[in-house]
Amino acid sequence: MKALKVVGIAVGSVAILGLVAGFITWAVLANRAPEPLPPPEIIALDWWKTCVLYQIYPRSFKDSDGDGIGDLKGIISELEHFVDAGVDAIWMSPIFTSPMVDFGYDISDFFDIHYEYGTMEDFEELLEKAHSLGLKVLLDFVPNHASNESEYYIKSEARDPFYEDFFVWADALPDPNNASNRLPPSNWVSQFGGSAWEWNEARQQYYLHQFAIQQVDFNFRNPAVQEKMFEIMRFWLDKGADGFRLDALPYLIEANPADHEGRYPDDPLSGLIQFEPHQLGYTIPIYTKDLIELYDIVYEWREFIDQYNEEHGGDTRVIFSEGYANVTMTMLYYGNEDGAIGAHFPFNFDFITDLNSESNARDFVYIILRWLTYMPYGGIPNWVFGNHDNNRMPTRFRKDMVDGLNAINMLLPGVAVTYQGEEIGMRDGYVSWEDTVDIEACNRGDPDTYHLYSRDPARTPYHWNNSTNAGFSTANRTWLPVAEDYPELNLAKQKEDRISHFKNYQALTALRKEKTLSHGEYDIRPLSDWTFYLVRSLRTYDTFVLLFNVGDRENTVDLNRVPHLTLPATIYVASIHSTREGGHVISNSQLTLSAGEALVLRAVPI
Ligand SMILES: *[C@@H]1O[C@H](CO)[C@@H](O)[C@H](O)[C@H]1NC(C)=O
Ligand SMILES: *[C@@H]1O[C@H](CO)[C@@H](O)[C@H](O)[C@H]1NC(C)=O
Ligand SMILES: *[C@@H]1O[C@H](CO)[C@@H](O)[C@H](O)[C@H]1NC(C)=O
Ligand SMILES: *[C@@H]1O[C@H](CO)[C@@H](O)[C@H](O)[C@H]1NC(C)=O
Ligand SMILES: *[C@@H]1O[C@H](CO)[C@@H](O)[C@H](O)[C@H]1NC(C)=O
Ligand SMILES: *[C@@H]1O[C@H](CO)[C@@H](O)[C@H](O)[C@H]1NC(C)=O
Ligand SMILES: [Ca+2]
Ligand SMILES: [Ca+2]
CA neighbor of 50 nearest in space, from 368, 241, 316:
316
Determine contact, residues 137/126, Cβ cutoff 8 Å: yes
Judge whether residue 537 has pLDDT over 50.
yes
Ramachandran angles phi, psi of 94, nearest 5°: -55, 135
Give the Cβ contact number of residue 308 at 10 Å.
16
**pLDDT of 36:** 74
Cα(474) to centroid of ligand 7, in Å? 10
Confidence grade of residue 40 (pLDDT, cut at 50, 70, 90): confident
Q: Name the H helices within 149-292.
A: 151-157, 223-239
**pLDDT of 535:** 98
Ligand 6 atom 10: the closest Cα is on which residue?
466
State CA 315 to chain mean position distance: 21
**pLDDT of 30:** 53
Give the Cβ contact number of residue 588 at 10 Å.
10
DSSP character at residue 177: T
The average pLDDT across 32-58 equals 90
Q: Is the CB of 497 under 6 A from ligand 6?
A: no
Distance CA 144, CA 349 (A): 20
- Which residues have their alpha-adjacent CB atom under 5 A from ion ligand 8? 144, 217, 251
Q: Is the CB of 181 under 6 A from ligand 2?
A: yes
Identify the weakest region by mean pLDDT among 15-19, 159-163, 457-461. 15-19
Ligand 6 atom 11: the closest Cα is on which residue?
466
Give the Cβ contact number of residue 462 at 10 Å.
26
Judge whether residue 72 has pLDDT over 50.
yes
Confidence grade of residue 185 (pLDDT, cut at 50, 70, 90): very high
Q: Is the CB of 328 under 6 A from ligand 2?
A: no
Cα(531) to centroid of ligand 1, in Å? 53
Q: Provide the residue type at 535 as one letter.
A: V
Distance CA 340, CA 166 (A): 27
Determine contact, residues 413/3, Cβ cutoff 8 Å: no
Burial of 396 (0-12, 13-18, 19+ CB in 10 A): buried
Specify the pTM. 0.93
Cα(494) to centroid of ligand 6, in Å? 11
Judge whether residue 1 has pLDDT over 60.
no
The average pLDDT across 92-111 equals 98
The CA angle 115-133-91, to the nearest 5 degrees, is 50
Cα(247) to centroid of ligand 1, in Å? 23
Judge whether residue 28 has pLDDT over 70.
no
| H/E run at residue 525 | strand 521-526
Distance CA 57, CA 92 (A): 6
Ramachandran angles phi, psi of 61, nearest 5°: -90, -55
Q: Is the CB of 290 under 6 A from ligand 3?
A: yes
Q: Any bridge partners for residue 541, and if so which? A: 538
Strands 52-56 and 415-419: parallel
Burial of 295 (0-12, 13-18, 19+ CB in 10 A): buried
Point out the ligand 3 atom lying closest to the alpha carbon of residue 286: 5
Ligand 3 atom 8: the closest Cα is on which residue?
328
State CA 96 to chain mean position distance: 20
Q: Which ligand is nearest to the CA of 63?
A: 7
The average pLDDT across 217-222 equals 98
The average pLDDT across 475-485 equals 98
Confidence grade of residue 12 (pLDDT, cut at 50, 70, 90): very low
Confidence grade of residue 15 (pLDDT, cut at 50, 70, 90): very low
Determine contact, residues 575/597, Cβ cutoff 8 Å: yes
Helix axes 223-239, 120-132, angle to 10 degrees: 60
Q: Which residues contact 64 (CB under 8 A, 6 or more apart)?
A: 71, 73, 74, 77
CA 427 vs CA 207, 420, 601: distances in Å: 38, 11, 27
DSSP symbols for 527-543: SSSSEEEEEEEETTEEE
Structural domains of the chain sorted by starting position, each given as residue range(s) with its CATH number in brackets:
519-603 (2.60.40.1180)
Give 428-445 pLDDT, tens digit per residue. Answer: 999 999 999 999 999 888
CA neighbor of 263 nearest in space, from 165, 159, 173:
173
Q: Provide the residue type at 26 as one letter.
A: W
Mean pLDDT estimate for the chain? 94
Q: Which ligand is nearest to the CA of 493?
A: 6
**Residues of the chain by 3-state class (helix, strand, coil), percent to 5:** 30, 20, 50
Pocket test for ligand 3, best of 283, 294, 295, 329 (most atoms within 8 A of CB): 329
Determine contact, residues 502/491, Cβ cutoff 8 Å: yes
The CA angle 437-326-363, to the nearest 5 degrees, is 95
Point out the ligand 2 atom lying closest to the alpha carbon of residue 182: 5
Ligand 5 atom 8: the closest Cα is on which residue?
476
Pocket test for ligand 1, best of 98, 106, 149, 199 (most atoms within 8 A of CB): 149
Distance CA 478, CA 66 (A): 9
**pLDDT of 16:** 34
Distance CA 454, CA 467 (A): 27
**pLDDT of 31:** 62
Judge whether residue 5 has pLDDT over 60.
no
The average pLDDT across 197-207 equals 98
Burial of 306 (0-12, 13-18, 19+ CB in 10 A): middle
**pLDDT of 9:** 30
Burial of 543 (0-12, 13-18, 19+ CB in 10 A): buried
- Dihedral through CA 153, CA 156, CA 161, CA 165, nearest 10? 100
Q: Which residues contact 119 (CB under 8 A, 6 or more apart)?
A: 72, 113
Ligand 4 atom 5: the closest Cα is on which residue?
471
Helix axes 402-411, 501-511, angle to 10 degrees: 10
CA neighbor of 332 nearest in space, from 369, 375, 302, 303:
375
Distance CA 173, CA 187 (A): 11
Strands 345-346 and 382-384: unpaired
Sign for the CA dihedral angle at 278, 279, 281, 286 comes to: positive
**pLDDT of 444:** 85
Identify the weakest region by mean pLDDT among 28-32, 99-103, 249-253. 28-32
Active site members: 247, 322
Confidence grade of residue 10 (pLDDT, cut at 50, 70, 90): very low
SS3 353: helix
Please report, rounded to a whole number, the percentage of residues in the chain having pLDDT higher than 70: 95
The average pLDDT across 325-342 equals 97
Judge whether residue 2 has pLDDT over 60.
no
